């Protein structure tokens, strides 16, 4: 379950009515259910209780400190892709030894910080990065723990922007050249080979691509072991999809059980990097109708939430369920566009969507907005970012307050008058 449900016609997050949060913090805002986050994390972890494993939650999905802290208390590690995410994890109380550092473009300072922090492994994505990491490690008198991110060339059958396992993507090293690059890694003084990594994409709605990737990675792992490499862990990434109202993707338990069975007899550590599947359905984005605008051929619901707050519909064409915060009695559903205040035609939350009747001042909840929502927000059009609220039972807490206009410009300055000459 997702712990978002109607009671007496009012949408609740766990035991808290969303209108109560709206009155306290204003709109738009994000709201997360702690119970849903815990439940979804345990769906990955519990089937692996009898074997060595690490669930390294993908911080990019939702990097709010409170969410990371909640997951850390559950025993989660982190899949990080920047120095900032590393520091977020540490401030949330997650040890660096439970972090895997991924990403195709790590800077030298990020590699230095990762080594000093003691991350579990650095997932190297190119020959150039391997050489750079070796130089950084040797200069510091260290050996860097390394897994190579291998591109298994598996089609995840998802949106092209989030397909990462094809040979045409920027991620990983080709599986055909992996043995040669591992041989190079094994020869470098500053590198210690510790594992093997892959990630094929996001919002996957079938177990089949995961199992195909597992088969290819197992074959490569056997070759690497024959070459003398000690592969202590196998990282199969994340990417399991969630229900956005267009289908019923596999549940975490089914995927994890299939992977566990496929690795029967192998004693190493299995690492998984779920993100969206943990937090996606644990969040909603609540916005208020400002105006109803009728054009000759279309009705627009103009809301106070915009693409700078929630980018997925504009970026991916994502279609996410929208529900009224207060259920109405009207049955005259209409096809509408839900649009925001941003000065772009691409600023929309829904297009040509049949929705129940809304009036000015009504609030709506964009469901399944816990992943790639607040974490992708911007200040476009000089709009302060929306607050984030965490609910647990009958309590809620603001875990990121709304930005102020002054904060938008805090890092900027005007040159002195004499600067212009």
pLDDT in tens, 206-236: 888 899 999 999 999 999 999 999 999 999 9
pLDDT digits (tens, 9 = 90+) for 314-335: 998 989 999 999 998 767 899 9
pLDDT at 328: 84
Give the catalytic positions in this structure.
343
Same domain, 163 and 82: yes
How far apart, in Å, are the Cα atoms of 396 and each of 12, 204, 286, 399? 12, 32, 15, 9
**Structural domain tally of the chain?**
2
Identify whether residues 72 and 195 lie together within a single domain. yes
Asked whether residue 421 is assigned to any structural domain, the reply reads: no
What pLDDT score was predicted for residue 168?
59
Residue that is last in its domain, among 277, 292, 314: 277
Are 356 and 221 part of one and the same domain?
no
pLDDT of 163: 46
The answer on 349 and 218 residing in a single domain is no
**Contact partners, residue 31, CB within 8 Å, separation at least 6:** 13, 18, 21, 283, 284, 286, 388, 389, 390, 391, 396
Q: Which residues contact 164 (CB under 8 A, 6 or more apart)?
A: 156, 171, 172, 199, 200, 201, 202, 239
Same domain, residue pair 114 and 253: yes
| CB count in 10 Å sphere of residue 412 | 6
Encoded tokens for 21: 């949060």
294-313 tens-digit pLDDT: 998 899 999 999 999 999 99
* pLDDT for residue 101 is more than 90: yes
Domain contains 90: yes
pLDDT of residue 107: 97
| Paired tokens of 409 | 């410009």
Are the beta carbons of 61 and 376 closer than 8 angstroms? Answer: no
Asked whether residue 259 is domain-assigned, the answer is: yes
10: buried, middle or exposed (CB in 10 Å: 19+, 13-18, 0-12)? middle
Specify whether 259 is located in the same domain as 395: no
Q: What is the distance between the alpha carbons of residues 274 and 79, in angstroms, rounded to a whole number?
A: 9
Q: Does the pLDDT at position 408 exceed 90?
A: yes
pLDDT in the model for residue 201? 82
Q: Are residues 17 and 106 in the same domain?
A: no
| Residue where one domain finishes, among candidates 254, 277, 300 | 277
Q: Is residue 420 part of a domain?
A: no
The pLDDT, as a whole number, for residue 162 is: 41
Q: Write the CB contacts of 311 (distance below 8 Å, at least 6 apart in sequence).
A: 372, 376, 377, 378
pLDDT on residue 205: 84
CA-to-CA dists, residue 151 to 54, 174, 359, 407, angstroms: 21, 5, 50, 41
Structure confidence by residue, pLDDT tens digits, 141-167: 999 999 999 988 876 554 443 444 445
Picking from 115, 120, 8, the residue whose alpha carbon sits closest to that of residue 55 is: 120
416 domain residue, yes or no: no
CATH number, domain of 65, equals 3.20.20.10
User: Among 43-52, 152-161, 169-178, which is the least confidently predicted range?
Assistant: 152-161
Q: Tell me, what's the pLDDT at 167? A: 55
Residue with tokens 């712990």, as numbered in its chain: 3
80 and 178 co-located in one domain: yes
Whether 51 and 160 map to the same domain: the answer is yes
pLDDT tens digits, residue range 229-281? 999 999 999 999 998 887 778 889 999 999 999 999 899 999 999 999 999 99
The CATH number given to whatever domain includes residue 296 is 2.40.37.10
Give the 3-state secondary structure of the chain.
CCCEEEECCEEEECCEEHHHHHHHHCCCEEEEEHHHHHHHHHHHHHHHCCCCEEEEEEHHHCCCHHHHHHHHHCCCEEEECCHHHHHHHHHCCCCHHHEEECCCCCCHHHHHHHHHHCCCEEEECCHHHHHHHHHHHHHCCCCEEEEEEEECCCCCCCCHHHECCCCCCCCCEEHHHHHHHHHHHHHCCCEEEEEEECCCECCECCCHHHHHHHHHHHHHHHHHHHCCCCCCEEECCCCECCCCCCCCCCCHHHHHHHHHHHCCCCCCEEEECCCHHHHHHHEEEEEEEEEEEEECCEEEEEECCCCCCCCHHHHHCCCCCEEECECCCCCCCEEEEEECCCCCCCCEEEEEEEECCCCCCCEEEECCCCCCCHHHCCCHHHCCCCCEEEEECCEEEEEECCCCHHHHCCCCCCCCHHHHC
pLDDT at 158: 46
Confidence check: pLDDT of 64 > 80: yes
Claim to verify: residue 17 and residue 38 sit in the same structural domain: no
Q: Which residues have C-beta within 8 Å of that of residue 409, sequence separation ≥ 6?
A: none
Amino acid 331: pLDDT: 73
Which pLDDT value is given to residue 161? 39
Look at residue 32 and tell me whether its pLDDT is greater than 50. Answer: yes
Residue-averaged pLDDT of the chain: 93
Separation between Cα atoms, residue 193 and residue 232, nearest integer Å: 9
Last residue of a domain, one of 261, 277, 293: 277
User: What's the pLDDT at 250?
Assistant: 85
Residue 253, domain member (yes or no): yes
The pLDDT, as a whole number, for residue 243 is: 87
Show the domain range for 9.
4-31+281-408
413 part of a folded domain: no
Shared domain for 228 and 292, answered yes or no, is no
- Tell me: do 9 and 107 sit in the same domain: no
Average pLDDT over residues 59-75: 98
pTM comes to 0.94
Residue 417: inside a domain = no
Question: Which comes out higher in pLDDT, residue 411 or 2?
Answer: 411
């Amino acid at each position: 379950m997702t712990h978002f449900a109607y009671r007496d016609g009012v949408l609740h997050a766990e035991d808290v009515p969303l209108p109560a949060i709206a009155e306290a913090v204003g709109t738009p805002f994000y709201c997360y259910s702690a119970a849903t986050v815990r439940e979804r994390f345990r769906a990955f972890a519990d089937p692996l209780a009898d074997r060595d494993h690490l669930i390294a939650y993908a911080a990019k999905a939702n990097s709010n400190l409170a969410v990371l802290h909640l997951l850390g208390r559950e025993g989660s590690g982190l899949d990080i892709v920047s120095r900032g995410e590393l520091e977020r994890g540490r401030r949330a109380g997650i040890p660096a030894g439970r972090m895997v550092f991924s990403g195709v473009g790590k800077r030298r300072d990020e590699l230095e910080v990762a080594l000093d922090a003691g991350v579990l492994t650095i997932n190297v994505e190119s020959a150039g990065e391997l050489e750079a990491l070796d130089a950084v490690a040797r200069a510091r008198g260290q050996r860097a723990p390394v897994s190579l991110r291998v591109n298994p060339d598996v089609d995840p059958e998802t949106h092209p922007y989030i397909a990462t396992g094809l040979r045409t993507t920027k991620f990983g090293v080709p599986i055909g050249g992996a043995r040669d690059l591992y041989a190079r890694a094994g020869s470098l003084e500053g590198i210690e080979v510790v594992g093997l990594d892959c990630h094929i994409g996001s919002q996957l709605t079938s177990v089949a691509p995961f199992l195909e990737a597992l088969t290819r990675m197992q074959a490569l792992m056997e070759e690497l072991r024959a070459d003398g490499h000690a592969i202590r862990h196998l990282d199969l990434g994340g990417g399991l999809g969630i229900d956005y109202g267009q289908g019923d993707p596999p549940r975490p338990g089914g995927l994890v059980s299939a992977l566990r069975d496929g690795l029967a007899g192998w004693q190493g550590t299995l690492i998984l990097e779920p993100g969206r599947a943990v937090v996606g359905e644990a969040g909603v984005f609540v916005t208020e109708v400002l105006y109803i605008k009728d054009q000759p051929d279309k009705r627009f619901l103009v809301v106070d939430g915009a693409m700078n707050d929630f980018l997925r519909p504009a970026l991916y064409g994502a279609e996410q369920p929208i529900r009224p915060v207060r259920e109405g009695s009207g049955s005259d559903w209409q096809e509408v566009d839900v649009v925001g205040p941003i000065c772009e035609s691409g600023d929309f939350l829904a297009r040509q969507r049949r929705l129940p009747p809304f009036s000015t001042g009504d609030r709506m909840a964009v469901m399944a907005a816990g992943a790639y929502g607040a974490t992708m927000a911007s200040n476009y059009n000089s709009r302060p970012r929306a607050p984030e609220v965490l609910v647990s039972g009958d309590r809620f807490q603001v875990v990121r307050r709304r930005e102020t206009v002054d904060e938008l410009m805090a890092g900027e300055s005007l040159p002195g008058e004499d600067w212009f000459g």
